[in-house]
Amino acid sequence: MSHMVYGCVMTVDKSHVLRTAATLLTRKATTSLDEIAKVAGISRATLHRHFAGRDALIKALEELGITRFEAALDAAAIDEGDATGALRRLITHIEPEAALLAFLTTENQLFVGELHAGWDRLDERMNSLFRRGQESGEFRVDLTAAWCTEALYGLVGAAAWAVHAGRIAPRDTEKMIAELLLGGVRRSMEQ
Amino acid sequence: MSHMVYGCVMTVDKSHVLRTAATLLTRKATTSLDEIAKVAGISRATLHRHFAGRDALIKALEELGITRFEAALDAAAIDEGDATGALRRLITHIEPEAALLAFLTTENQLFVGELHAGWDRLDERMNSLFRRGQESGEFRVDLTAAWCTEALYGLVGAAAWAVHAGRIAPRDTEKMIAELLLGGVRRSMEQ
DNA sequence: CCGTGATGAGACATCAATGTCTCATATGGT
DNA sequence: ACCATATGAGACATTGATGTCTCATCACGG
């Protein structure tokens, strides 16, 4: 019985399904599995074959988001160079996953039970980046690292929503997030 | 068991019920009316007497949020004085309504159909505040007013969540939002 | 003391979402 | 050509939320 070889016959792109689910669930948290399957272009039966149920789908969404976020942190090499540059690189790598991240940070339903252990690790890496910037003198110290982390999450979500609403161009999101987070809206006196 | 310490026992405090609903629905968008009623301290029958159904409850939530937001804009007198001060005052007045606002900005379900006309008015007032700051030279012009508005919404939501998660103290939210939005995390050279 | 009105408790039917099943079809590999 | 696997379509029962109803209770005012 040496069958069960994975990887070639799988015509369903789980990542695509999950992204579709993230988009729909962000817009309407009560979206039915029927609609998710329909928009993803698969039947409800197939959706159910890949994800046992709604909870499993949400769980997979969480897993994917954490994985992508972690990958973005790695790709941005946030521990190298100055914190400002590291933060810019991070935003660049996070932006493509904005919709997914926005879903995870707003769907607090995930945290009613136990929260995924991966989040602790991500939060810690984020916090350490801001702390590093504070210690190097790049970042102000009157804003806690924890708040800066939460603010980044919030801004990423706001940007995703603004793009969806057509208020800002997709190509501008990266700059908008980075500039606002780093410099704020106030015109600097030095300029 | 008839308790409830209101002045008059025969009238349910709709505002209290709505705030409870906002809190619960923010944490879990699929919270049942049963649980909302229970946490609000009323029976499901009474909840249904005041709000015809889930949609009506959401609608009332939207109305309340818009009303409170509009009141905050008025109370802050955002058209008077410099834009920076106006923005600080606005944040001060908005902060108590953070949970409610956070719900409205994340519950995009509201916008699948027609979006409430009140939002246009609110967005316009917010945008004009940021435009005013740009024209007076206080705010930078490379960040659009629309984005600044969305960013404020996002930061208010992030702050509400951070407080709920115990990451920042309630008394600090005002400062955290204002300082980050105005000045960003980067240490200013002028200091 | 009694009546009006709001509420609490619960029964009941309904509906939508969900989970599970079967069967037919399509695809890819052997 | 044959077989294994994935998929699509749909039937079916179940579950939970919801809307509606009735009745008992409690508070307040006349």
In this prediction, residues B55-80 reach a mean pLDDT of: 95
| Residue A42 zone, left/alpha/beta (φ > 0; ψ -120 to 50; rest) | beta
On whether the CB atoms of residues B115 and B66 are closer than 8 A, the answer is no
Q: What confidence score (pLDDT) does residue A182 get?
A: 98
Q: Which nucleotides of C are covered by protein (CB under 7 A)?
A: 5-10, 16-22, 27-29
Residue B118: CB atoms within 10 A of its CB come to: 15
In whole angstroms, give the CA distance from residue B176 to residue A151: 9
Instruction: Kindly determine whether the C-beta of residue A55 is less than 7 Å away from any atom of nucleic acid strand C.
Output: yes
CA distance B159 to chain A (A): 7
- What DSSP line would sit under B67-111, residue for residue? HHHHHHHHHHTTTSS-HHHHHHHHHHHHGGGHHHHHHHHH-GGGG
On whether the CB atoms of residues A44 and A34 are closer than 8 A, the answer is yes
Q: What confidence score (pLDDT) does residue A70 get?
A: 97
Q: Which domains does chain A have, with CATH numbers?
A: 14-183 (1.10.357.10)
Q: Does A150 touch chain B (CB under 8 A)?
A: yes
With a CB cutoff of 8 Å and minimum separation 6, the contacts of B20 are: B36, B39, B40
pLDDT in tens, B146-183: 999 999 999 999 999 999 889 999 999 999 999 999 99
Q: Confidence band (pLDDT; 50, 70, 90) for B87?
A: very high
SS3 content of chain A, % helix, strand, coil (to 5): 70, 0, 30
Q: What confidence score (pLDDT) does residue A114 get?
A: 66
Residue B115: its chain A contacts at CB < 8 A? none
In whole angstroms, give the CA distance from residue A23 to residue B56: 25
Residue B35: its chain A contacts at CB < 8 A? none
On whether the CB atoms of residues A127 and B175 are closer than 8 A, the answer is no
Q: What confidence score (pLDDT) does residue A2 get?
A: 27
Each of the 191 residues of chain A gets a pLDDT tens digit; together they read 223 333 334 577 889 999 999 989 988 888 999 999 999 999 999 999 999 999 999 999 999 999 999 999 999 999 999 999 999 999 999 999 998 999 888 877 666 666 678 899 999 999 999 999 999 999 999 999 999 999 999 999 999 999 988 999 999 999 999 999 999 999 976 54
Checking if the pLDDT of B78 tops 60, the result is: yes
In whole angstroms, give the CA distance from residue B35 to residue B41: 10
Residue A163: its chain B contacts at CB < 8 A? none
Searching chain B, which residue's CA lies closest to the CA of residue A165?
A: B111
On whether the CB atoms of residues B63 and B111 are closer than 8 A, the answer is no
